[in-house]
Structure 1
Amino acid sequence: MKRVAFYTLGCKLNYSETSSISRMFEEKGYQKVEFNQKPDIFIINTCSVTDNADKKCRKIVREAQAINPDGYVAIIGCYAQLKPREISEIPGVDAVLGAAEKFRLVELLDTFQKSPQNEPALVLASPIEDAYDYHTSYSLNDRTRTFLKVQDGCDYPCSYCTIPLARGKSRSDSIANVVAAAHEIAARGVKEIVLTGVNIGDFGIQQGIRSSTFLDLIRELDQVEGIERFRISSIEPNLLTDEIISFVANSRRFVPHFHIPLQSGSNTMLGLMKRRYKRELYQNRVEKIKQLMPDCCIGVDVIVGHPGETEAEFLDSFHFLNELPVSYLHVFTYSERADTHALSLRPVVPKKVRAERSGILHSLSEKKKRAFYETQTDSSHVVLFENDVEDGHMQGFTENYVRVMARYDPLLINELKAVRLTQISANGLFEVIDEEIFEQYV
């Protein structure tokens, strides 16, 4: 029995796909082991959002070779689709599979016989136009939360992004398949599903034809028994409609938490980035959410240092974000990606300036998070506790994505518990007290 290990770089979507591919191996009789347990086969699922992700791939290959010099190393994922020949020249790599091939990994590589030394790696990477099939995927890393892929690919040609080149055109699962997967996940005892994809608001396209919408999907998922919570991982502001917001506000299972990419609070920059909205629409979406769900957590993606971002444009973006009632920021420092429109834009922001602007927005994010947490003090929420124990304490998330800590109790793992948020600890987590106990004190 050959032993196989997996390493995943990048987004929740990659984690869901790695998990599904690992189950394919197990169904064929392979034994899944940890990366450091000297497996016979290493599968590395790559990301290529930033230049740093490419460097990480090379480092993981070196680590694999150090663990087992005779181990077979196969590379899949976005980096593998974008630069298969470059990866094939990395010492120790035996095979590179593109987007159209990665779900046929077991079939295409078969024996996983390591190549003789100095022989070039096998490259199986079709043009991205051939990546039109859809593969249902979900992660099963623990019993608490699962990432369920509902959509893949993207038709948005944003100036900085290689995702359309790495994953192909937008395509989706059927509602029936997604609901069936949710039932399978519920049967495994999982309490929360995070819906993920490249552009999930574009859900509903199958074989180039739109047959349904994201709103249709979440209405059906809201009826799935056994799943206590559904969380929307990220949705474009121009696709986040009033109907979706209203549905979540009145939903049985969808939680008050949105992650909405902004990328810049400057309309000039949004134009250069080829985004499909202006900041006024984004502000309208945030205000609508807060009107219907005052305690809703709202996360924001933002890019700093994109070509064309002058000091004035950065400050315009900063002030816009500072005034928005959002809860945290995911800050990305722009890095040059081959074959993107952004490479032709000027002025180019020096890397030192990019780093300085990133630091400013990270500080703003901490301020936003602290302010949001403080609004939740002394309020009641339901926490899903995880098997994440440190120094005698366990952690979990409220429905509106506040991270809490409580004294470890094995009975609480994977359980939903009503709590009172009492105070923010030194490490930035909320300390809680059992709501039933709290009621005895008042």
Structure 2
Amino acid sequence: MSAEVVSLGCRLNISESERIREMLGAESEVVVINSCAVTSEAVRNTRQAIRRARRDRPDARLLVTGCAADIERDAIAAMPEVDGLIANTQKLDPRAWNVPAQPEPVPAQRTRAFVAVQNGCDHACTFCIIPQGRGPSRSLTIPQVLQEIERHMAQNVAEVVLTGVDVTSWGHDLDGTPPLGEMMQAILGEFPELGRLRMSSLDGIEIDPLLFELFAGEPRLMPHLHLSLQHGHDMILKRMKRRHSRADAVTLVQQLRTRRPELAIGADLIAGFPTEDDAMHAANLDIIAELGIVHGHIFPYSPRPGTPAERMPQVDRRIVKERAAQLRAEVARVRDDWLGSLIGTDLSVLTERDGSGYSQSYARVALPEGTPAGSVVTMRPNRIEKGLLL
């Protein structure tokens, strides 16, 4: 039995949790909560996970790491269930866990591998606390990325997902400031047997020309672009201190779709940001259809202590929740139309252990009973049920 690691929040945390689990190995009496602090709700979820873990494992040593362990350090440390904290910047260092340094362990066999190529963030979005928990942007070099992917390829993973806090800032701190597209091209060249390479959330304004060309025409780079969009109105984007405009996002998607019509768009959108009026919310709502956002992550704004947005005029909480619900409903409508367009078409589906799978464009498909996990199969869906293609 190995250590138990509970991962909350982003895909980067998922990747780091896997490494922590590998490092701790047979430390079976240890439970680790890899926490999130992106919103106040995320911090509440972290506290709930800590209490649940203590109830389930009363005799285990319970350690907390992740963003909440740094940003909410005193409050988390004061919880009676917690035995210790590991700093976010040290959580991949064996010395922080009091375990011996060993050669890189063989990763657990997974259908897909999450590979963290970058950490930290140099930006100062007014709603975001994460730079305080993750520190400045730091990149793996191309040889380090290739080495990490090679470890997973030895386990026959079918898909590699590149993650980070601000992935499109990869390379800014490396000699020569290589663009992200250069690293992507190196991966595809080094591993011709890798059939599926996927990106996590990207800042569209920083997509370099080479990465654009790969998204537009490289079949092994999945046709699934998730944008760190945040809002559809320029004034709110300015107050968020985002670096793109609505027009920037629309132009990017239109240009890519011209080259690759099957491209599926995802986006993060915040509802009820401070000062948002009805017209601004309407712009946020209608950008969903304009971009064809089929993978929407909707966040009702909640003030984070220590951020500039906390000091701005707030929108009533009831209105924030109503607007978030409207955004989710619009994403669901656009998504249903998109799923309907896939009925009767052949999809390349990566099968999971839970009886579902994901197409290249990240459409979720329910698998026929007995379909082996970890394989790529061609399927032709004939109906939709509860948001799943069947």
User: Shared topology, TM-score over 0.5?
Assistant: yes
Indicate whether 1:25 and 2:24 are aligned: yes
Q: Secondary structure at the residue paired with 1:103?
A: coil
Contact 1:18 1:139 (C-alpha < 8 Å) held by counterparts: no
Alignment of 1:17-416 (within 5 A): 17-26=16-25, 30-31=26-27, 39-104=28-93, 106-110=94-98, 142-206=109-173, 209-223=175-189, 224-346=191-313, 348-389=314-355, 395-410=356-371, 412-416=372-376
Deviation for aligned residue 1:420: 2.6
- Say if 2:223 and 2:263, in contact at 8 Å, map to a contact too: yes
Question: Which whole-Å CA distance do the structure 2 matches of 1:138 and 1:19 have between them?
Answer: 11
Contact 2:179 2:208 in 1 (8 A): no
TM-score (norm 1): 0.82
Secondary structure in structure 2 of the residue aligned to 1:262: strand
The separation in 2 between residues aligned to 1:155 and 1:312, in whole angstroms, is: 31
Q: Displacement, 1:139?
A: 11
- The corresponding residue for 2:389 is 430
3-state secondary structure, aligned to 2:275: coil
Partner Cα separation in structure 2 for residue 368 and residue 144 of structure 1: 28
**Take 1:419 and 1:277, find their aligned partners in 2: how far apart are those partners?**
38
Query: 1:17·1:138 contact (CA, 8 Å) conserved in 2?
Result: no
User: Aligned with 1:222: secondary structure?
Assistant: helix
Contact (CA 8 Å) 1:7, 1:43: kept in 2 or not?
A: yes
String of CA shifts for 1:140-172, please: whole Å, max 9, x gaps. Answer: 565311111111111110000011111011110
Equivalent residue number for residue 10 of structure 1: 9
Tell me the amino acid that sits aligned with residue 9 of structure 1.
L
Residue 355 of structure 1, CA deviation: 0.5
- What CA distance in whole angstroms lies between the structure 2 residues aligned with 1:69 and 1:327? 42
Contact 2:181 2:209 in 1 (8 A): no
Query: In structure 2, how many angstroms separate the alpha carbons of the residues matched to 1:65 and 1:320?
Result: 43
AA of the residue aligned to 2:154: A
Compute the displacement of 1:107 (Å): 2.4
Shift of 1:414: 1.7
Q: Which has the higher contact order (CA 8 A, sep 6+)?
A: 2
Residues 15-47 of structure 1 show CA distances to partners (whole Å, capped at 9, x for unaligned) of 100110111112xxx34xxxxxxx522111100
Shift of 1:244: 1.7
Residue 225 of structure 1: CA displacement?
3.4
- Equivalent residues of 2:272, 2:315 under 8 A apart: yes
With structure 2 as the length reference, what TM-score do the two structures score? 0.93
Q: Report if aligned partners of 1:149, 1:195 keep a CA contact under 8 Å in 2.
A: yes
Percent of paired sites with the same residue: 28
Structure 1: runs of 5 or more not aligned: 32-38, 112-136, 390-394, 432-442
- Number of corresponding residues: 385
- Distance in 2, matches of 1:306 and 1:139, equals 44
Structure 1 contact 249–293 (Cα < 8 Å) conserved: yes
Structure 2 stretches of 5 or more lacking a match? Answer: none
**What CA distance in whole angstroms lies between the structure 2 residues aligned with 1:241 and 1:174?**
18
SS at match of 1:255: coil
User: Is the CA contact (8 Å cut-off) linking 1:19 and 1:138 kept in structure 2?
Assistant: no
Cα–Cα, structure 1 residues 408 and 138, in superposed 2: closer, same or farther, change >3 Å? farther
**Alpha-carbon distance between aligned partners in 1 of 2:11 and 2:107, rounded to the nearest angstrom:** 12
Flag the structure with larger Rg. 1
Where does residue 377 of structure 2 map in the other structure?
417
Deviation of residue 138 (structure 1)?
11
Q: Which residue of 2 aligns with 1:114?
A: none
Q: What SS is found at the alignment partner of 2:44?
A: helix
Q: Which runs of 4+ in 1 moved over 6 A?
A: none
Residues 296-348 of structure 1 show CA distances to partners (whole Å, capped at 9, x for unaligned) of 111011001111111221112212333333323210111111211101212x1
Kindly indicate whether the alpha-carbon contact (under 8 Å) linking 1:234 and 1:261 is maintained by their aligned counterparts in 2: yes
Over the aligned positions, Cα root-mean-square deviation in angstroms equals: 2.1
Contact in 1 for aligned 2:270/2:298 (Cα 8 Å): yes
Q: Is the contact made by 1:73 and 1:94 (CA closer than 8 Å) also made in structure 2?
A: yes
1:252 Cα deviation from its structure 2 partner: 4.5
Where 1:205 maps in the other structure, the secondary structure is: coil
Secondary structure, counterpart of 2:162 in structure 1: strand
- Structure 2 match to 1:119: none
